[in-house]
Amino acid sequence: MWVTTHVLAGLAIAAALGGPWWLVLVAVIVAHVVMDLIPHWDYTKTTHPVLYGWCDFLAGLILWLVAWLVLGMPFWLAFMGPVSGAPDWDVLIAELRGKPDVHWFPSHWKRFPHGSSGRAWGIGVQAVFMAASVVVVVAARPY
């Protein structure tokens, strides 16, 4: 899934659990793996994956800053958003190196059953995850 989707899901998990930090950390990393199993569409299959990747990372960074600085989430809670999206750095690094099949995170390995779908369905799935994550962050009010 997109970094933005993972960041929002990480923020939602952190907001819902509220602590302890080690439990939230484990939960957001496990959530990354589980979300990668769900059929979705990735921009890595486009002609401009690096451009889309940078835009996605920038959007994830902005969402983290909004959660922390605008909504007032405690830093450690808000930081779980980027932690949840961090494994996708290996996707962007692989694309930048021209080796799109070389990854360090297990759910990005070729042998991992990474969920894949068509563009319309896959974007819709991620939009639902993002919307649900925003609802959880707002409802949990960890700020």
Q: How confident is the model over 9-50, as pLDDT tens digits?
A: 999 999 999 999 999 999 999 999 999 989 888 887 778 888
Q: Which amino acid is at 114?
A: H
CB 107 within 8 A of CB 87: yes
CA angle, 15 as apex, 14 and 17 as ends, to 5°? 65
This prediction has a pTM of: 0.89
**Confidence at residue 142, expressed as pLDDT on a 0 to 100 scale:** 74
**Confidence at residue 119, expressed as pLDDT on a 0 to 100 scale:** 84
Residues 43-70: pLDDT tens digits?
A: 877 788 888 889 999 999 999 999 999 9
CB 38 within 8 A of CB 125: yes
Please give the Cα distance from 55 to 74 (Å, whole number). 25
Residues 96-120: pLDDT tens digits?
A: 788 777 777 877 777 788 778 888 9
CA distances from 62 to 48, 108, 113 (A): 21, 24, 30
pLDDT-based confidence at residue 90 (cuts at 50, 70, 90)? confident
**Confidence at residue 3, expressed as pLDDT on a 0 to 100 scale:** 93
